[in-house]
C-alpha cells in the first residue's frame, strides 16, 4: 500500500484526502515509511523534521473534520530543495559554511506552499551552492539515482528528483539557473517545470553566505512532480509577485494558446552539431514527434533561427556573473567580469529574446532534448570543468552538455520536462517543451497532451528491489 499511495500524483492524493478516503496523517505516515525504506540507499532527503510535519497534518485533518479545506495543497506532505530557506529547518545550500544555518523565515515560495496547506517534512540534497550537474557535497555526501544507484541524479535539484521518483514526497520545489530542475527530472524519470524568469519569487535562494535578499539573473524556482497536473497545481500556488510588489502588481499568466494537441503548431529541434545528442535519445524523440504528428499536430522540423552555440556562450557569460558570489572573492571577481561586459551581453540577450518572440509567432512550442546523454556514473574525481562524458563514442567536457538548457534559460523562456521512456539500458529519457516568455500554461498544456499518449511516470526499480539490495 505504501508504495502505491506514495507513487500516486499529488493531484490524486489530494482527491483521496478530500474524499476522506485517507487522512493527512495517514498520508504522512506512508511517506515517512517510504523515507525509512528507501532514503538510506538514495541519500535524497538530508534533513527532516517529522514531528513538525505530523503536527501540521493533524491540524489539516482537524480542519477537514470541521468542514474546512485549507487550500489547494491541503494536507500534502512534501520536501524542499536545500538551496531554499525554510524557517526553523537547517538550510545549507550544500555548503559547510551554512551547515548550522537555521533561517528565521520561510522563503516566500515556501510560505505560499504552507499557506496553501502543504506540510514540509524535509530538505533534499544539492551540490555546493547548486553549482553542479551532479548532486554531492561535503555536508551530506552523494545522492544516488533510483534507476541505478551507481549513477548521478543530475544536479542541482538531484535530491529533489530522486525523492519525487522514489515516492518520498508529494512533489518538490527546486531551483534552475542552468538546468537544475530539468536535468534531474530527465535523469530520474520525473516531470519538472522551469518557469519564465520572474514568475515565482526566488527570494530565500541560498547561493552564498548572506544570500536570499535579491534575485539572481536567469535563476528561477520551479516544481518537480509525478504528473503534469501536479506541475500546473504547483505553478498556480507559487506564481505571483514578491510581497513588496504585491500591493501594486498582479500576475495574470495567459491561458494556453490551445487545448487540443491537433491545434498546436509544434517546432522540433532534436539534434545539433554544437551539442550532438546520443543517437538512441534522438530516435526516442523522433518517435514522440511521429506520434503527435499522427494525432494531427502541426509539425515543423526546420531549425529555429538561433545559433545554439552562440546562445549557450551568451548564457555562460551571463551565468558566471549571476553565480559569481558563490565563489571566493578573487575567483568571483574574475568570473563576474566588468559591469560593462554584463551590459553588453544583456544587450545581446535582448536581440536573442526578440528572435524567440518572432519564432513563437508562428510556433506555439519547441520540442528538444534536455541533455545529450542519460544519467552517467558518479564522477567526483576532478573539478567539473575538467570532467568529461562520452556521447556517441566521443569524449566531451561536462560543460559542453549545457547547450540545450542554458540557451533557453538565458532568454527567460519557460520549459517543461516530461519523461518519454527508457533506453535499452533501462535509463530514463526526458523531453523538453519550450515556449514563449510568460506562456507557461502553453508548455504545460502541450506536456499534458503528449504525456497522456505516453507511459507517463513509472516507478524506478529501486522500489522493487529487496531490502538487502537497497542497503
Q: For residue 207, give the C-alpha cell.
A: 547561493
pLDDT, residue 243, reads 87
Residue 333 pLDDT greater than 80, yes or no: no
Residue 81 appears among annotated catalytic residues: yes
Does residue 2 register a pLDDT over 70?
no
DSSP characters over 108-132: HHHHHHHHTT-EEEEEE---GGG--
> Which grid cell sits at 362?
508562428
**Is pLDDT above 80 for 3?**
no
Average of pLDDT values for 168-177? Answer: 98
pLDDT at 67 exceeding the cut of 70:
yes
Q: Residue 385 pLDDT > 90, yes or no?
A: no
Mean pLDDT over 208-221 rounds to: 96
Transcribe 285-333 into DSSP letters. Answer: HHHHHHHHHHTT-EEE-SPPS--HHHHHHHHHHHHHHHTGGGS-HHHHH
Among residues 18, 15, 24, 87, which one has the least CA distance to residue 55? 24
Catalytic residue, candidates 180, 256, 407, 451: 180
Which of 94-98, 253-257, 381-385 shows the lowest per-residue confidence on average (mean pLDDT)? 381-385
What does the pLDDT read at residue 79?
98
Residue 330 to residue 51: CA distance in whole angstroms: 43
Closest CA to 194 of 432, 463, 457: 432
Multiple choice CATH, 2-470, 3.40.50.880, 3.40.50.300, 3.90.1300.10, 3.40.50.720: 3.90.1300.10
Is the pLDDT confidence value at 4 over 90? no
Residue 100 burial (CB count, 10 A): 8
Cβ atoms of 179 and 158 within 8 Å: the answer is: no
**Which candidate in 9, 23, 81, 192 is catalytic?**
81
82 touches 125 (CB < 8 A): yes
Please choose, from the candidates 303, 325, 292, the residue with its C-alpha nearest in 3D space to the C-alpha of residue 453.
292
What is residue 336's predicted lDDT score, i.e. its pLDDT? 84
- Strand residue runs (E) in 313-373: 365-369
Quick check: 466 pLDDT over 60? no
Which of 38-47, 91-100, 158-167, 332-341 bottoms out in mean pLDDT, i.e. has the lowest?
332-341
pLDDT in tens, 14-23: 999 999 999 9
The active-site residue out of 91, 130, 156, 324 is: 156
For residues 323-347, average pLDDT = 87
Nearest-angstrom CA–CA distance, 83 and 124: 9
How far is Cα 196 from Cα 46, in angstroms, rounded to an integer? 29
If you average pLDDT over every residue of the chain, what do you get? Answer: 95
DSSP SS3 for 466: coil
Report the C-alpha gap between 142 and 182 in whole angstroms: 19
Whether 227 is catalytic is: no
Mean pLDDT, rounded, for 186-213 = 97
Mean pLDDT of 385-408: 95
pLDDT tops 70 at residue 103: yes
* pLDDT in the model for residue 1: 44
pLDDT at residue 203 tops 80: yes
Query: Does the structure show a pLDDT above 80 at 471?
Result: no
pLDDT at residue 199 tops 50: yes
Amino acid at each position: 500500500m505504501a508504495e502505491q499511495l506514495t507513487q500516486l500524483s499529488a493531484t490524486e492524493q489530494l482527491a483521496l484526502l478530500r474524499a476522506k478516503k485517507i487522512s493527512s496523517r495517514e498520508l504522512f505516515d506512508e511517506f515517512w515509511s517510504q523515507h525509512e525504506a528507501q532514503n538510506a540507499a538514495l541519500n535524497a532527503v538530508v534533513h527532516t523534521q517529522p514531528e513538525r510535519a505530523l503536527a501540521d497534518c493533524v491540524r489539516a485533518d482537524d480542519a477537514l473534520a470541521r468542514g474546512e479545506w485549507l487550500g489547494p495543497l491541503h494536507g500534502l506532505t512534501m520536501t524542499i530543495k536545500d538551496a531554499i530557506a525554510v524557517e526553523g529547518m537547517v538550510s545549507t545550500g550544500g555548503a559547510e559554511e551554512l551547515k548550522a544555518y537555521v533561517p528565521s523565515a520561510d522563503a516566500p515560495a515556501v510560505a505560499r506552499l504552507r499557506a496553501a496547506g502543504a506540510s514540509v517534512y524535509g530538505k533534499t540534497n544539492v551540490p555546493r551552492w547548486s553549482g553542479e550537474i551532479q548532486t554531492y557535497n561535503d555536508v551530506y555526501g552523494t545522492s544516488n539515482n533510483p534507476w541505478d544507484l551507481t549513477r548521478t541524479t543530475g544536479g542541482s535539484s538531484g535530491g529533489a528528483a530522486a525523492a519525487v521518483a522514489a515516492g518520498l514526497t508529494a512533489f518538490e520545489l527546486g531551483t534552475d539557473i542552468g538546468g537544475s530542475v530539468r536535468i534531474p527530472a530527465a535523469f530520474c524519470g520525473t516531470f519538472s517545470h522551469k518557469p519564465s524568469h520572474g514568475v515565482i519569487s526566488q527570494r530565500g535562494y541560498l547561493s552564498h553566505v548572506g544570500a536570499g535578499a535579491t534575485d539572481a539573473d536567469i535563476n528561477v524556482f520551479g516544481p518537480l512532480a509525478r504528473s503534469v497536473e501536479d506541475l500546473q497545481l504547483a505553478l498556480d500556488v507559487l506564481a505571483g509577485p514578491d510581497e513588496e510588489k504585491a500591493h501594486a502588481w498582479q500576475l495574470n499568466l495567459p491561458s494556453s494558446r490551445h487545448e487540443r494537441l491537433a491545434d498546436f503548431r509544434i517546432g522540433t529541434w532534436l539534434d545539433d552539431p554544437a551539442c550532438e545528442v546520443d543517437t538512441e535519445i534522438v530516435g526516442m524523440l523522433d518517435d514522440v514527434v511521429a506520434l503527435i504528428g499522427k494525432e494531427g499536430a502541426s509539425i515543423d522540423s526546420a531549425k529555429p533561427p538561433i545559433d545554439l552555440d552562440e546562445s549557450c556562450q551568451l548564457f555562460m557569460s551571463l551565468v558566471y556573473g549571476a553565480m559569481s558570489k558563490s565563489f571566493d572573492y578573487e575567483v568571483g571577481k574574475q568570473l563576474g567580469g566588468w559591469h560593462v561586459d554584463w551590459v553588453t551581453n544583456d544587450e545581446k540577450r535582448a536581440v536573442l529574446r526578440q528572435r524567440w518572440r518572432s519564432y513563437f509567432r508562428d510556433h506555439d512550442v519547441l520540442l528538444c532534448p534536455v541533455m545529450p546523454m542519460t544519467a552517467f556514473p558518479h564522477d567526483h574525481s576532478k573539478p567539473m570543468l575538467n570532467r568529461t562524458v562520452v556521447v556517441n563514442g566521443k569524449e566531451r567536457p561536462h560543460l559542453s552538455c549545457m547547450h540545450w538548457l542554458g540557451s533557453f534559460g538565458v532568454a527567460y523562456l519557460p520549459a517543461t520536462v516530461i519523461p518519454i521512456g527508457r533506453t535499452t539500458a533501462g535509463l530514463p529519457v526526458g523531453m523538453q517543451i519550450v515556449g514563449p516568455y510568460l506562456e507557461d500554461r502553453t508548455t504545460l498544456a502541450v506536456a499534458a497532451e503528449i504525456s497522456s499518449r505516453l507511459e507517463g511516470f513509472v516507478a524506478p526499480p529501486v522500489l522493487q528491489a529487496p531490502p538487502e539490495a537497497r542497503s
